[in-house]
Structure 1
């Protein structure tokens, strides 16, 4: 049962192969097994690749199964259409397009499995890239809000500076009227005279102005600080909104790019392995000598070709002979006097009818 299945996978003519030796059958069983297991590898590779795309097992299994059937059909077609020739170069030229197709298929099959084999290394590369992207994203978002935050901080600093300036002015006026009372500066008269009173009133007026300024600026500062907190909250919200996008940066294309950043030699040898598996049926047929199956297949093809050529020649000869016979028959009929008189009579009646009809049409126009 398994033997017949692998012979079916090889694409060989089972009717011809049944009459061949056991060794010839074993050769095509091996070719069919290679075709089958290549399709199995294609299923595993495509299912994993599509799982990374859809993130769901059922679509991945369905599309993976369809892809494996496509690869199986292509491989079976490639192997079954390679015919053994008398010269190796003729066989090689015949197989060249199929070998190119096999190389393409091998690369397509191997890439998802390489991603799975080097999954831990790829995750390390992706983690590094994600960290770099997070830092770059925070910097970019920070630059977007930087002008507003700097402006807000500058306005708060300016309001606080106005308060400090006014406090310094009040403190200076306080020192002036105190030293005037002590007689150490100003009029240098001890006691609270008119000058002291004037300086004290100036200080008290400045103190009231300071209180009003503090009340006004502190309200503005509180409002500015609230706006600054909101800007910082918006910045953090923007960063958190973009975080899931960065975390989701692990799709198929990202993993392929990460794989390309790893050392190329291990990946190259895995690709060579799949290339050897994919091209092994074709190489086997090219290197194998002409076997019993090939001779019998060639005999059947040449017999069919000879039969078709013979049938074509007989049909052409039949048409040619039939045409010559008809030419002779019609030549004999043309010499028959009775048929000639009948044809002459019918032609005369037809001409008379045409003449009468023409005269009637002419009269109708008058």
Structure 2
């Protein structure tokens, strides 16, 4: 059962192969097994690659199966169409495009499996890239809101500076009228004289202005602080909203790029392994000697070719002979007087009809 299945996978003619030796059958069983297991590896690789795209098992398995069947069909076609020739040069020339196709298939199959094999290393590279992207994103978002925050901060500082300046002015007036009352400055007379009253009046006026300025500026500062909090909230929200996009930066293309940033030698050897697996049926056919199966296939093909060429020659000869006979018949008929008289009579009647028809048309136009 398994033997028959692998023979089917090899693309060999089962009826012809059944009449061959056990060794010949074993050779094609091995070729068929290689084709089958290459398709299995293609199924695993494509399913994993598609899982990184869909994040769902079922569509990944479905499309992975379709891809595996496609690879299986291609490999089976490549192997089954290679024919053993009398000269090795012709065999290599025949196999060259098939080998190139096998190389492409091997690269396509190996890449997703490389991604899975080096998954931990790739995750490390992706983590570094995500961290760098997160920092860059925060920087860009901060720069986007920077002008509004700087403008808000500058206005708060100006309002606070106005209050501080007025407080200093009020404190100076306070020190001046206290010194006047103590007699340590100004008129240097102890007590609350006219100068003292004048200076305390200035202090009270400045203090009233300070109180009004504090109420007005602190109200505005509170509004600006609320605005700053709102801007900061928007900034944090923007960063939070963009973070899932950065966290999701682990798709197939990102992993392939991350794989390319790792040392190339391990990945290269894995690719060579799949290249050897994919091209092994072709190489096996090229290196093997011309076997019993090949002779039987060649016998069938040459017999069919000979039959086709013989049928073609007979048809060409039949056409040529028939043409010669018909030429002779028509040549003899051309000499027959009765046929000539009949043709002359018919032509005369036809001319009369044409003349009468022309006359009627001419009358209608007058």
* TM-score normalised by the chain length of structure 1: 0.97
Residue 263, structure 1, aligned to residue 238, structure 2: no
Q: Distance in 1 between matches of 2:296 and 2:288?
A: 16
Residues 179 and 306 (structure 1 numbering): CA distance in 2 closer, same or farther, change over 3 Å? same
Offset of 1:311 from its aligned partner? 0.3
Q: Distance in 1 between matches of 2:141 and 2:361?
A: 98
- Quote the residue 1:158 is aligned against: 158
- Quote the residue 1:60 is aligned against: 60
Q: Distance in 1 between matches of 2:277 and 2:13?
A: 23
- Quote the residue 2:289 is aligned against: 289
- Quote the residue 1:346 is aligned against: 346
- Quote the residue 1:140 is aligned against: 140
- Quote the residue 2:129 is aligned against: 129
Q: Distance in 1 between matches of 2:80 and 2:27?
A: 13
Residue 14, structure 1, aligned to residue 14, structure 2: yes
- Quote the residue 2:112 is aligned against: 112
* TM-score normalised by the chain length of structure 2: 0.97
For residues 219-298 of structure 1, the aligned pairs below 5 Å read 219-298=219-298
Offset of 1:174 from its aligned partner? 0.9
**1:280-335 Cα deviation digits (max 9, x unpaired):** 00100111111111111111111111110000000011111111111222222222
**1:37-76 Cα deviation digits (max 9, x unpaired):** 1111101100110011011111111100110111011101
Q: Distance in 1 between matches of 2:144 and 2:365?
A: 97
Offset of 1:363 from its aligned partner? 4.3
Offset of 1:343 from its aligned partner? 2.3
Offset of 1:108 from its aligned partner? 0.4
Offset of 1:337 from its aligned partner? 2.6
- Quote the residue 1:188 is aligned against: 188
Q: Distance in 2 between matches of 1:255 and 1:225?
A: 45
Offset of 1:362 from its aligned partner? 4.0
| Of 267-276 and 342-351, the range deviating more from structure 2 | 342-351
Q: Distance in 2 between matches of 1:258 and 1:96?
A: 33
Q: Distance in 2 between matches of 1:285 and 1:212?
A: 101
Residues 289 and 180 (structure 1 numbering): CA distance in 2 closer, same or farther, change over 3 Å? same
| Of 26-35 and 139-148, the range deviating more from structure 2 | 139-148
For residues 282-321 of structure 1, the aligned pairs below 5 Å read 282-321=282-321
- Quote the residue 1:48 is aligned against: 48
Q: Distance in 2 between matches of 1:170 and 1:336?
A: 147
Structure 2 unmatched runs, 5+: none
- Quote the residue 2:199 is aligned against: 199
Q: CA RMSD in A?
A: 1.3
